[in-house]
Amino acid sequence: MAEARMQISAEQGAFMAALVQLLAARRAFEVGVFTGYSALATALALKEAHPVGARLLACDISAGWTAIARGYWREAGVDDMIDLVLAPALETLDARIAAGEEGAYDLGFIDADKTGYDGYYERGLKLLRPGGALLFDNMLWSGRVVDPADATPDTTALRALAQKAKADDRVHSVLAAVGDGLLICIKK
Ligand SMILES: C[S@@+](CC[C@H](N)C(=O)[O-])C[C@H]1O[C@@H](n2cnc3c(N)ncnc32)[C@H](O)[C@@H]1O
C-alpha cells in the first residue's frame, strides 16, 4: 500500500508486546489503527497475559483502513476482544472518561494526528492506572524534532510533548530509540 510506511515495524510490535507482558496488562487502548498491525501485536500479547478478560479499545476515523484490520484480527482470533470505535479519538477517550473508566487501563499507544498528541496525553493519563504506561510513536519524526528550522505544526507538537513529559512530575518518562522514537510515560 502507498501508505504502508505508517505501520509500525515488526521490531516495535515485539517491543510493545514485551511491555504488555511486563505490565501484565489486561486492558489497553490504541489511537491510530490503520490496517491493524500494532493493535494485533498488542491484542495477541494481552490475550497471552490474560486468556480471559483481555480487552483493547481501538480508535480510528477510517472505515476503509480498519476494514482491512478487522480481517486480520479475525484471522488471528482476537477480533472478539477488540472494540473498534470510528470517531475522532479525543471524543472516544472523553466518552470513556465520562463513562467512569478513569484508572481502568494498563497501557495506551498513541500513533495518530501529531497535533492531537497533547490532548491524548492528558486523556491517557486519566485512563491509566498508576504504574500503567502511555506510549507515543514517531517522537523522533525522522530527526525533524531537532531541526531548529522546522516549525511545522506536527514537529512543534512532538517537540512540545517531549519537553512536557520530561518535566512532568506525574510520569516517569524515557524516549526509546525504537522505530521512529517511542516515548514511554509511566504514570506515577
Ligand atoms: C500512522 S497510522 C497508524 C498506524 C498503526 N498504529 C500501525 O501500526 O499500523 C495513523 C492512523 O491514525 C488515524 N487518525 C488520524 N487522525 C485521527 C483522529 N483524530 N482520531 C482517530 N484516528 C485518527 C488515521 O486514520 C490512521 O489510520
Backbone angles phi, psi at 104, to 5 degrees: -95, -10
For a ligand 1 pocket test, name from 44, 60, 82 the mutation site with the most ligand atoms within 8 angstroms of its C-beta. 60
Question: Is 4-187 CATH 3.90.1150.10?
Answer: no
pLDDT for the residue 114: 98
Between CA 34 and CA 130 the distance in angstroms is 29
Residue 111 alpha carbon to ligand 1 centre in Å: 6
pLDDT for the residue 21: 98
Which residues, in sequence order, are CB contacts of 35 under 8 Å at separation 6+? Answer: 1, 7, 65, 66, 68, 69, 72
Average pLDDT over residues 104-111: 98
> What is the pTM (predicted TM-score) of this model?
0.98
pLDDT for the residue 89: 98
**What are the pLDDT digits (tens) for 125-176?**
999 999 999 999 999 999 999 999 999 999 999 999 999 999 999 999 999 9
Residues 125 and 171: beta-carbon distance below 8 Å: yes
pLDDT for the residue 129: 98
In short, whether 88's Cβ falls inside 6 Å of ligand 1 is: yes
Residue 35 alpha carbon to ligand 1 centre in Å: 9
Residues 24 and 117: beta-carbon distance below 8 Å: no
**What are the pLDDT digits (tens) for 11-50?**
999 999 999 999 999 999 999 999 999 999 999 999 999 9
In short, whether 38's Cβ falls inside 6 Å of ligand 1 is: yes
pLDDT for the residue 111: 98
Residue 46 alpha carbon to ligand 1 centre in Å: 21
Between CA 57 and CA 128 the distance in angstroms is 13
In short, whether 59's Cβ falls inside 6 Å of ligand 1 is: yes
pLDDT for the residue 57: 99
**What are the pLDDT digits (tens) for 66-85?**
999 999 999 999 999 999 99
Average pLDDT over residues 86-91: 98
Between CA 86 and CA 128 the distance in angstroms is 21
Nearest alpha-carbon partner for 181 in 140, 144, 146, 121 = 140
In short, whether 37's Cβ falls inside 6 Å of ligand 1 is: yes
pLDDT for the residue 163: 98
